[in-house]
Copies of this chain bind each other. A is one copy, B any other.
Amino acid sequence: MSSKSTLQKSYPWVTTPLVASAPMLNIALPPLAVSVSAAAGLGFLAAGFDVSDLDQKLSQAANLVHQLPPSPLTKHYADTGILPIGVGFINWGADLAQSIAALEKYRPCAVWLFAPEDQPRGLVPWVERVRAATRGATQIWVQVGAVGEAVTVAETLRPDVLVVQGSDAGGHGLARSASVVTLVPEVVDALEARGLGTGLPVLAAGGVVDGRGMAAALALGASGVVMGTRFLASEEANVARGYRAEVLRAEDGGVSTVRSTVYDGVRDIHGWPRRYDGRGVINRSYVDAVEGNMSAAENRRLYVTELEKGDAGWGPDGRLTTYAGTGVGLVREALPAGEIVRRVRSGANDIVKRIATAED
Protein backbone atom coordinates (compact mmCIF):
# COMPACT_ATOMS: atom_id res chain seq x y z
CA MET A 1 0.00 0.00 0.00
CA SER A 2 1.30 3.44 -0.80
CA SER A 3 2.22 5.75 2.07
CA LYS A 4 -0.59 8.09 1.15
CA SER A 5 -3.29 5.45 1.30
CA THR A 6 -1.72 4.16 4.53
CA LEU A 7 -2.33 7.54 6.14
CA GLN A 8 -5.81 7.79 4.67
CA LYS A 9 -6.70 4.36 6.01
CA SER A 10 -5.29 5.02 9.48
CA TYR A 11 -6.89 8.44 9.84
CA PRO A 12 -9.95 8.29 7.59
CA TRP A 13 -11.03 11.89 8.26
CA VAL A 14 -7.80 13.43 6.96
CA THR A 15 -7.20 14.92 3.56
CA THR A 16 -3.92 13.85 2.05
CA PRO A 17 -1.25 15.06 1.63
CA LEU A 18 -1.47 15.34 5.39
CA VAL A 19 -0.98 18.50 7.45
CA ALA A 20 -0.23 17.75 11.09
CA SER A 21 0.44 20.15 13.96
CA ALA A 22 3.45 19.56 16.19
CA PRO A 23 3.04 18.76 19.90
CA MET A 24 4.63 22.00 21.09
CA LEU A 25 5.21 21.89 24.83
CA ASN A 26 2.71 24.00 26.82
CA ILE A 27 1.38 25.42 23.53
CA ALA A 28 -0.35 22.55 21.73
CA LEU A 29 -3.28 21.96 24.08
CA PRO A 30 -6.66 20.39 23.22
CA PRO A 31 -8.14 23.42 21.40
CA LEU A 32 -5.27 23.49 18.87
CA ALA A 33 -5.12 19.73 18.39
CA VAL A 34 -8.86 19.35 17.89
CA SER A 35 -9.10 22.32 15.52
CA VAL A 36 -6.38 20.90 13.30
CA SER A 37 -8.03 17.48 13.14
CA ALA A 38 -11.41 19.10 12.53
CA ALA A 39 -9.91 20.73 9.43
CA ALA A 40 -9.03 17.27 8.07
CA GLY A 41 -5.49 17.46 9.41
CA LEU A 42 -4.04 15.68 12.40
CA GLY A 43 -3.59 17.69 15.56
CA PHE A 44 -1.20 16.72 18.33
CA LEU A 45 -1.62 17.50 21.99
CA ALA A 46 1.65 18.05 23.88
CA ALA A 47 2.05 15.72 26.83
CA GLY A 48 5.70 16.68 27.14
CA PHE A 49 7.90 15.27 29.89
CA ASP A 50 5.47 15.78 32.76
CA VAL A 51 2.37 13.72 32.07
CA SER A 52 0.63 14.29 35.39
CA ASP A 53 -2.19 16.22 33.71
CA LEU A 54 -2.43 14.10 30.57
CA ASP A 55 -5.69 12.49 31.67
CA GLN A 56 -7.23 15.89 32.14
CA LYS A 57 -5.99 17.15 28.77
CA LEU A 58 -7.33 14.11 26.96
CA SER A 59 -10.65 14.50 28.73
CA GLN A 60 -10.85 18.09 27.52
CA ALA A 61 -9.95 17.01 23.99
CA ALA A 62 -12.68 14.35 24.03
CA ASN A 63 -15.18 16.96 25.15
CA LEU A 64 -14.15 19.27 22.34
CA VAL A 65 -14.55 16.50 19.78
CA HIS A 66 -18.01 15.75 21.16
CA GLN A 67 -18.97 19.35 20.54
CA LEU A 68 -17.97 19.30 16.85
CA PRO A 69 -20.72 19.27 14.23
CA PRO A 70 -21.18 15.91 12.46
CA SER A 71 -18.38 15.08 10.01
CA PRO A 72 -16.30 12.09 8.91
CA LEU A 73 -14.16 12.81 11.98
CA THR A 74 -17.01 12.67 14.49
CA LYS A 75 -18.40 9.60 12.75
CA HIS A 76 -15.01 7.89 13.01
CA TYR A 77 -14.87 8.72 16.69
CA ALA A 78 -18.41 7.48 17.28
CA ASP A 79 -17.75 4.28 15.33
CA THR A 80 -14.37 3.39 16.78
CA GLY A 81 -13.91 5.28 20.02
CA ILE A 82 -10.51 6.34 18.73
CA LEU A 83 -9.90 9.96 19.68
CA PRO A 84 -8.95 11.71 16.41
CA ILE A 85 -5.95 13.56 17.79
CA GLY A 86 -2.43 12.46 18.67
CA VAL A 87 -0.37 12.89 21.83
CA GLY A 88 3.27 13.97 21.78
CA PHE A 89 5.70 12.80 24.44
CA ILE A 90 9.16 13.99 25.36
CA ASN A 91 10.41 10.60 26.30
CA TRP A 92 13.44 11.41 28.43
CA GLY A 93 11.00 12.63 31.07
CA ALA A 94 7.55 11.17 30.48
CA ASP A 95 6.36 8.51 32.92
CA LEU A 96 5.40 5.35 31.04
CA ALA A 97 2.85 3.88 33.45
CA GLN A 98 0.96 7.12 33.90
CA SER A 99 0.98 7.71 30.13
CA ILE A 100 -0.29 4.23 29.35
CA ALA A 101 -3.19 4.63 31.76
CA ALA A 102 -4.33 7.80 30.01
CA LEU A 103 -3.83 6.37 26.52
CA GLU A 104 -5.79 3.23 27.39
CA LYS A 105 -8.65 5.34 28.67
CA TYR A 106 -8.90 7.83 25.80
CA ARG A 107 -7.40 5.88 22.87
CA PRO A 108 -5.92 8.77 20.85
CA CYS A 109 -5.18 7.86 17.23
CA ALA A 110 -1.42 8.28 17.59
CA VAL A 111 1.46 8.89 19.94
CA TRP A 112 4.49 10.87 18.84
CA LEU A 113 7.65 9.67 20.58
CA PHE A 114 10.68 11.92 20.80
CA ALA A 115 14.00 12.26 22.56
CA PRO A 116 14.46 9.21 24.77
CA GLU A 117 17.78 9.06 26.60
CA ASP A 118 18.67 6.03 24.51
CA GLN A 119 17.49 6.13 20.89
CA PRO A 120 15.90 3.80 19.80
CA ARG A 121 16.07 1.26 22.64
CA GLY A 122 14.54 3.56 25.21
CA LEU A 123 11.38 3.59 23.13
CA VAL A 124 10.94 -0.19 22.90
CA PRO A 125 8.81 -0.47 26.07
CA TRP A 126 6.74 2.51 24.95
CA VAL A 127 5.99 0.97 21.57
CA GLU A 128 5.14 -2.41 23.07
CA ARG A 129 2.97 -1.11 25.87
CA VAL A 130 1.12 1.47 23.75
CA ARG A 131 0.28 -1.14 21.14
CA ALA A 132 -0.86 -3.59 23.79
CA ALA A 133 -2.86 -1.05 25.77
CA THR A 134 -4.97 0.15 22.85
CA ARG A 135 -4.73 -3.03 20.75
CA GLY A 136 -3.20 -1.10 17.90
CA ALA A 137 -5.77 1.70 17.91
CA THR A 138 -3.02 4.14 18.84
CA GLN A 139 -0.41 4.36 16.11
CA ILE A 140 3.26 4.98 16.72
CA TRP A 141 4.93 8.08 15.32
CA VAL A 142 8.63 8.57 16.02
CA GLN A 143 10.56 11.78 15.42
CA VAL A 144 14.09 11.55 14.03
CA GLY A 145 16.59 14.09 12.76
CA ALA A 146 19.24 12.08 10.95
CA VAL A 147 19.48 9.25 8.45
CA GLY A 148 21.17 6.81 10.83
CA GLU A 149 18.54 7.48 13.48
CA ALA A 150 15.75 6.97 10.92
CA VAL A 151 17.12 3.58 9.92
CA THR A 152 17.64 2.24 13.45
CA VAL A 153 14.25 3.55 14.55
CA ALA A 154 12.53 1.95 11.55
CA GLU A 155 14.34 -1.35 12.09
CA THR A 156 13.92 -1.53 15.84
CA LEU A 157 10.54 0.04 16.46
CA ARG A 158 8.63 -0.51 13.21
CA PRO A 159 6.75 2.75 13.69
CA ASP A 160 3.63 3.60 11.72
CA VAL A 161 4.88 7.07 10.76
CA LEU A 162 8.33 8.62 10.76
CA VAL A 163 8.57 12.35 11.45
CA VAL A 164 11.77 13.62 9.86
CA GLN A 165 12.78 16.91 11.40
CA GLY A 166 15.30 19.20 9.72
CA SER A 167 17.51 21.96 11.09
CA ASP A 168 15.06 24.80 10.39
CA ALA A 169 12.60 23.58 13.01
CA GLY A 170 11.79 25.68 16.04
CA GLY A 171 12.08 24.29 19.54
CA HIS A 172 13.99 21.11 20.26
CA GLY A 173 15.71 18.83 17.78
CA LEU A 174 19.13 17.43 17.04
CA ALA A 175 21.78 20.10 17.58
CA ARG A 176 23.43 19.01 14.34
CA SER A 177 21.28 18.13 11.39
CA ALA A 178 20.57 18.87 7.77
CA SER A 179 17.46 20.64 6.63
CA VAL A 180 14.64 18.60 5.15
CA VAL A 181 16.01 19.49 1.68
CA THR A 182 18.63 16.77 1.94
CA LEU A 183 17.43 14.87 5.00
CA VAL A 184 14.04 13.76 3.68
CA PRO A 185 15.31 12.33 0.38
CA GLU A 186 18.27 10.62 2.04
CA VAL A 187 15.99 9.07 4.67
CA VAL A 188 13.53 7.92 2.00
CA ASP A 189 16.36 6.34 -0.01
CA ALA A 190 17.93 4.69 3.04
CA LEU A 191 14.62 3.16 4.11
CA GLU A 192 13.92 1.95 0.61
CA ALA A 193 17.39 0.45 0.22
CA ARG A 194 16.76 -1.62 3.36
CA GLY A 195 13.22 -2.65 2.46
CA LEU A 196 11.84 -0.51 5.29
CA GLY A 197 10.12 2.13 3.19
CA THR A 198 7.00 0.34 2.04
CA GLY A 199 3.95 1.68 3.78
CA LEU A 200 5.99 3.79 6.19
CA PRO A 201 4.96 7.39 5.59
CA VAL A 202 7.64 10.02 6.09
CA LEU A 203 6.42 13.43 7.22
CA ALA A 204 8.65 16.47 6.84
CA ALA A 205 9.05 18.83 9.81
CA GLY A 206 11.18 21.94 10.06
CA GLY A 207 10.77 25.00 7.87
CA VAL A 208 7.37 24.19 6.41
CA VAL A 209 5.21 27.25 6.93
CA ASP A 210 3.04 27.63 3.86
CA GLY A 211 1.95 25.96 0.65
CA ARG A 212 5.38 26.47 -0.91
CA GLY A 213 7.08 24.58 1.89
CA MET A 214 4.48 21.85 1.75
CA ALA A 215 4.83 21.44 -2.02
CA ALA A 216 8.60 21.30 -1.55
CA ALA A 217 8.24 18.59 1.09
CA LEU A 218 6.13 16.51 -1.28
CA ALA A 219 8.72 16.95 -4.03
CA LEU A 220 11.39 15.74 -1.61
CA GLY A 221 9.47 12.53 -1.02
CA ALA A 222 7.40 13.25 2.08
CA SER A 223 3.78 12.11 2.35
CA GLY A 224 2.85 15.18 4.31
CA VAL A 225 4.12 17.81 6.68
CA VAL A 226 4.20 18.77 10.31
CA MET A 227 4.11 22.45 11.17
CA GLY A 228 4.92 24.05 14.50
CA THR A 229 6.00 27.65 14.00
CA ARG A 230 3.06 28.49 11.77
CA PHE A 231 0.61 27.30 14.43
CA LEU A 232 2.23 29.59 17.03
CA ALA A 233 0.17 32.25 15.29
CA SER A 234 -3.04 30.25 15.39
CA GLU A 235 -5.83 31.54 17.57
CA GLU A 236 -5.96 28.23 19.43
CA ALA A 237 -2.27 28.08 20.37
CA ASN A 238 -1.72 28.54 24.09
CA VAL A 239 0.85 31.33 23.82
CA ALA A 240 1.05 34.63 25.63
CA ARG A 241 0.28 37.74 23.66
CA GLY A 242 3.94 38.76 23.94
CA TYR A 243 5.12 35.45 22.49
CA ARG A 244 2.73 35.72 19.56
CA ALA A 245 3.68 39.34 18.91
CA GLU A 246 7.33 38.30 18.74
CA VAL A 247 6.53 35.52 16.28
CA LEU A 248 4.71 38.02 14.07
CA ARG A 249 7.52 40.58 14.41
CA ALA A 250 10.58 38.40 13.77
CA GLU A 251 11.87 38.11 10.23
CA ASP A 252 14.89 36.73 8.40
CA GLY A 253 14.70 33.63 10.55
CA GLY A 254 18.13 32.26 9.65
CA VAL A 255 19.63 35.34 11.28
CA SER A 256 17.06 36.20 13.95
CA THR A 257 16.81 32.67 15.41
CA VAL A 258 19.53 30.40 16.71
CA ARG A 259 19.95 26.85 17.93
CA SER A 260 21.10 26.86 21.55
CA THR A 261 20.76 25.26 24.98
CA VAL A 262 20.73 28.67 26.67
CA TYR A 263 16.94 28.79 26.70
CA ASP A 264 16.74 25.44 28.50
CA GLY A 265 19.10 26.81 31.11
CA VAL A 266 17.19 29.97 31.89
CA ARG A 267 13.94 27.99 32.03
CA ASP A 268 15.57 25.55 34.46
CA ILE A 269 14.97 22.52 32.23
CA HIS A 270 17.91 20.15 32.44
CA GLY A 271 16.70 16.79 31.18
CA TRP A 272 17.42 17.04 27.47
CA PRO A 273 19.99 14.49 26.26
CA ARG A 274 23.12 16.22 25.06
CA ARG A 275 22.43 15.65 21.37
CA TYR A 276 19.50 18.10 21.45
CA ASP A 277 19.20 21.86 21.57
CA GLY A 278 16.38 24.20 20.65
CA ARG A 279 15.88 26.95 18.09
CA GLY A 280 14.44 30.24 19.29
CA VAL A 281 14.44 33.92 18.43
CA ILE A 282 17.61 35.59 19.71
CA ASN A 283 17.00 37.65 22.85
CA ARG A 284 18.93 38.99 25.87
CA SER A 285 19.30 35.54 27.46
CA TYR A 286 21.20 34.34 24.42
CA VAL A 287 23.22 37.49 23.85
CA ASP A 288 24.30 37.70 27.49
CA ALA A 289 25.22 34.02 27.62
CA VAL A 290 27.14 33.86 24.38
CA GLU A 291 28.55 37.34 23.87
CA GLY A 292 28.54 38.52 27.47
CA ASN A 293 29.74 35.31 29.06
CA MET A 294 27.09 35.70 31.76
CA SER A 295 26.88 32.86 34.27
CA ALA A 296 23.95 30.46 33.92
CA ALA A 297 22.82 31.32 37.45
CA GLU A 298 22.70 35.06 36.80
CA ASN A 299 20.99 34.51 33.45
CA ARG A 300 18.39 32.32 35.15
CA ARG A 301 17.89 34.94 37.88
CA LEU A 302 17.25 37.65 35.30
CA TYR A 303 14.86 35.37 33.43
CA VAL A 304 12.81 34.79 36.58
CA THR A 305 12.66 38.54 37.21
CA GLU A 306 11.61 39.08 33.61
CA LEU A 307 8.63 36.78 34.07
CA GLU A 308 7.03 39.55 36.11
CA LYS A 309 6.92 41.76 33.03
CA GLY A 310 4.45 39.45 31.33
CA ASP A 311 3.95 40.18 27.64
CA ALA A 312 6.62 42.88 27.71
CA GLY A 313 9.20 40.21 28.59
CA TRP A 314 9.29 38.87 25.05
CA GLY A 315 11.18 40.45 22.18
CA PRO A 316 14.82 40.90 21.18
CA ASP A 317 15.52 42.95 24.30
CA GLY A 318 13.47 40.69 26.53
CA ARG A 319 14.33 37.42 28.24
CA LEU A 320 11.27 35.23 27.83
CA THR A 321 11.85 32.48 25.31
CA THR A 322 10.34 32.59 21.84
CA TYR A 323 10.93 29.13 20.45
CA ALA A 324 10.41 29.38 16.69
CA GLY A 325 11.87 27.99 13.49
CA THR A 326 13.66 29.77 10.66
CA GLY A 327 10.28 30.12 8.96
CA VAL A 328 9.20 32.67 11.55
CA GLY A 329 9.56 35.45 8.98
CA LEU A 330 6.92 33.79 6.83
CA VAL A 331 4.37 33.94 9.66
CA ARG A 332 2.59 37.26 9.23
CA GLU A 333 -0.89 36.96 10.73
CA ALA A 334 -2.78 35.01 13.37
CA LEU A 335 -5.52 32.81 11.96
CA PRO A 336 -7.77 30.06 13.23
CA ALA A 337 -5.82 26.78 13.12
CA GLY A 338 -8.29 25.18 10.74
CA GLU A 339 -7.87 28.07 8.33
CA ILE A 340 -4.09 27.57 8.44
CA VAL A 341 -4.50 23.88 7.59
CA ARG A 342 -6.80 24.64 4.67
CA ARG A 343 -4.64 27.47 3.30
CA VAL A 344 -1.44 25.46 3.44
CA ARG A 345 -3.02 22.44 1.81
CA SER A 346 -4.69 24.40 -0.98
CA GLY A 347 -1.59 26.56 -1.40
CA ALA A 348 0.47 23.44 -1.93
CA ASN A 349 -1.98 22.16 -4.50
CA ASP A 350 -1.87 25.45 -6.38
CA ILE A 351 1.91 25.50 -6.42
CA VAL A 352 2.22 21.94 -7.60
CA LYS A 353 -0.13 22.75 -10.48
CA ARG A 354 1.70 25.97 -11.26
CA ILE A 355 5.14 24.41 -11.51
CA ALA A 356 3.77 21.46 -13.48
CA THR A 357 2.51 23.81 -16.17
CA ALA A 358 5.05 26.58 -15.62
CA GLU A 359 5.78 29.06 -18.28
CA ASP A 360 6.92 31.66 -15.78
Contact = CB atoms under 8 A, between A and B. Distances in A.
Interface of A: 2-5, 17, 145-148, 166-168, 174, 176-183, 185-186, 189-190, 206-210, 212-213, 215-221, 251-255, 258, 325-327, 329-330, 351-353, 355-356, 358-360
Nearest to A252: B147
A145 B252 CA distance: 10
15 contacts: A4-B360, A147-B251, A168-B178, A168-B182, A176-B254, A178-B326, A179-B326, A181-B213, A181-B327, A183-B254, A185-B213, A212-B220, A215-B219, A219-B219, A352-B355
Contacts of A189: 330
**Stoichiometry (number of copies):** 2
A219 B355 contact: yes
A169 to B, nearest CB: 10
B330 A3 contact: no
B358 A356 contact: no
A181 B210 contact: no
B145 A254 contact: yes
Contacts of A183: 254, 326
A183 B326 CA distance: 8
A258 B216 contact: no
A151 to B, nearest CB: 9
A167 B179 contact: yes
A166 B179 CA distance: 9
